[in-house]
Amino acid sequence: MNSYRPLLLAAGAALALGACRPNLTPAPYSKANLDFTRYVAVGNSLTSGYADNSLYRSGQMVAYPSMLSWSFSRMGPSDYKAPLLPGESGWPSPKLILGTSTDMMGNVSLGPVSYPNQLDTTGSSINIAAQGPYNNLGVPGIRAIDFLNPFYGLLNPYATRFFSSPNPLKELDRINPSFFTMWLGNNDVLGYATSGGVGKSSGGSPFSLADREAISSTDYFADGVDSALKHLMADSNAHGAIINIPDVTSIPFFNTVPYNGLVLSRQGQVDSLNFAYHTTGIKFTLGANPFVIEDNTVPVIHRRLAQEGELILLTVPQDSLRYAGWGSIKPIPDRYVLDAGEIQAVHQATSIFNGILHSRAEAHGLAYVDINAFLKSLAPGILYHGVNFTTEFVRGGLFSLDGVHLTPRGYAMVANEILRTINYYYGASLQMVDVNAYDGVRFP
């Protein structure tokens, strides 16, 4: 037996040495040659953490730049400060939450409702520039062309509350960034789209208030982007990423109300509508019909049936559709519809602006994040750790209750796509975020 004792002892020792516990450690991450000590995020509402039709503190805390900065800080010192609001209720207007609402006929339904609790916005408009400088310079509503307006800070309450001067370019100088992300240009198209294309379809100027609902001028756009980049790259060693403009017509804001949402269930409804329209060539049948929309190019009646592919805005009043004859007896007003020509204008502008962003990324040696392609790839649905995300309104889990901005999980998906692109472009391997660690849409 003596000859076996050493064997047993050896086995016992191996077990005692903790061999009974697995120990997995990640392979080392790398930031390549990037310097994240002074990170700046420039952008609009998407960068600020805006969601549910407003800006509020917990949303700002899970803005994608905050997620990026977490990843950067894993590789060494990386400061991050955002101009946080004091409250949760949303400022200046209350945010939306998912709740039940009762329409004028007493029907109860689940949908976005205004934040019902006590507002906690006290102190929101106090200027907090002195507590800066801020790493997150996201200003809801700001366009690329607004960087050409030295007084822009006076026009936008979100800018007013944390800018140290009215000139947005000056704000970019406060931190001389070693690394930056720039996601600008969405609002150069979005203002036109979300107002149903009632503004100018090109040539919007930063100096005209009426042009806030126009598509920006291509020249101003290029100038705005160039000016911002010049200030962001004052340090010649600065690196960064330019994020492009998603096709706004693919977001739930434009894809939740169907073009043929006029459902006629009784022959009587069909007959009376056909009688009312009998001189016009417009015909209705039982079942799903296209909505009647306003179109001033049609002589005399100024209306026509919506065509497949035309988009009805999420903001169209549901009560008016259901009970006031909108979309049938009365046309849906133009400001709630993006017709084929307007969609074309949006696509064309998006493509031109993205071309400019891409060329600037190449010229300056910056990573170019094609978030447009990424969001399109999510449309059929994407599975992540047991959760099926889609771009559908409310149930898709990616878009917040305004149908334009993202949920924290949606922002996490964006943050990971940005990190992926930075990793690829700069040969780094930065840590990504766990999408499921963040909120999706909360249900009552």
Partner 1 sequence: MRKHALITAALLLPTAAAFSAGYQLNLQGLRQLAMGGGGTAMPWDASTIFYNPGGLARLTSLQAYASVQFIMPRVEYLNQTTGQTARTTNATFTPFNIYVGGTLKGADRLGFGVGVYTPFGSGTTWDDNWTGRYVTQSIYLQSIFIQPTLSYRISDGVSIGAGIIFATGHTDITRAMPVQNSQGLDGHAELKGKASGMGYNIGISLKASEQLHFGITYRSRVDMRVKDGDVTFSNMPAAIAGNFPNTSFDATLPLPEVLSVGAAWKPLSRFTIQLDFNLVGWKAYDSLAFNYADEVNGSKRTSSPRLYQNRIAARLGGHYQATDALAIMLGAAYDPTPVRDGFVSPDLPDANRIILSAGLSYKLAKSLNLLAAVEYVSSEKRQATYDEAAFGGTYQTKAITPGIGLTYDF
The residue (of 181 and 416) whose beta carbon lies closer to partner 1 is 416
Reading the block at residue 365, the tokens are 């040696």
Q: How many CA atoms lie within 13 A of 72 on its CB side?
A: 28
Is residue 4 at the binding interface for partner 1, with CB under 8 A as the rule? yes
Given candidates 166, 333, 384, 428, which one binds partner 1 under the rule CB under 8 A? 384
By CB under 8 A, tell whether 155 contacts partner 1. Answer: no
Identify the residue among 17, 23, 105, 126 touching partner 1 (CB under 8 A): 23
433 binds partner 1 (CB under 8 A): yes
126 binds partner 1 (CB under 8 A): no
Q: What tokens were used for 235?
A: 């340090």
17 scored as a contact of partner 1 (CB under 8 A): no
Q: Does 29 bind partner 1 (CB under 8 A)?
A: yes
Residue 327, token pair as written in the block: 């979309």
Should residue 105 be labelled a site residue for partner 1 when binding is judged by CB under 8 A?
Answer: no
State how far the Cα of 30 lies from the Cα of 442, in Å rounded to an integer.
36
Distance of CA 153 to the CA centre of its chain: 22
Q: Is the dihedral of CA 426, 431, 432, 433 positive or negative?
A: negative
Between 371 and 433, CB nearer to partner 1:
433
24 lies in the site for partner 1, by CB under 8 A:
yes
Q: Does 107 bind partner 1 (CB under 8 A)?
A: no
Which of 317, 355, 387, 427 lies at the binding interface for partner 1 (CB under 8 A)?
387
Q: DSSP letters of 23-83? A: ---PPPPB-TT---SSEEEEESHHHHT-BTTBB-HHHHHT-HHHHHHHHHHTTS-------
Q: How far apart are CA 55 and CA 143, in angstroms?
A: 17
Residue 276 in the binding site for partner 1 (CB under 8 A)? no
Note whether 109 binds partner 1 by CB under 8 A. yes
Number of residues counted as binding partner 1 (CB under 8 A): 46
Select 219 or 434, whichever has its Cβ closest to partner 1: 434
Any contact of residue 437 with partner 1 (CB under 8 A)?
Answer: yes
β partners of residue 263? 288
**Of the candidate residues 198, 301, 352, 382, the single one contacting partner 1 (CB under 8 A):** 382
Asked if residue 210 binds partner 1 (CB under 8 A), the reply is no
Contact range with partner 1 by CB under 8 A, out of 45-53, 129-137, 219-227, 426-434: 426-434
User: Minimum Å distance from CB 388 to partner 1?
Assistant: 5
Binding region for partner 1 (CB under 8 A) out of 75-83, 87-95, 327-335, 392-400 = 392-400
Contacts of 355 (CB under 8 A, 6+ apart): none
In the complex, the smallest distance separating the C-beta of residue 67 from partner 1, rounded to whole angstroms, is 11
- DSSP one-letter string for 274-300: HHHTTTTT----SEEEPPEEE-TTSTT
Q: Which stretch binds partner 1 (CB under 8 A): 4-12, 203-211, 324-332, 363-371?
A: 4-12
CA-wise closest residue to 145 among 90, 101, 209, 195: 209
User: Is residue 13 a contact point for partner 1 (CB under 8 A)?
Assistant: no
| Tokens, residue 233 | 């790259």
In the bound state with partner 1, the residue whose beta carbon lies nearer, of 25 and 236, is 25
Residue with tokens 């334009």: 404
Q: How far apart are CA 67 and CA 432, in angstroms?
A: 9
Selected from 13, 19, 288, 373, the binder of partner 1 by CB under 8 A is: 19
Distance (Å, rounded) from C-alpha 50 to C-alpha 120? 17
- Per DSSP bridges, beta strands 262-264 and 287-289 are antiparallel
| DSSP states along 109-168 | EEEEEE--S----TTTTS--GGG---SEEE-TT--GGGGG-TTGGGT-HHHHTT-SSS-H
Residues lying near partner 1 in the complex (CB under 8 A) are found at 1, 4, 7-8, 11, 14-15, 19-27, 29, 74, 97-98, 100, 109-111, 382-388, 394-395, 397, 431-434, 436-437, 439-444
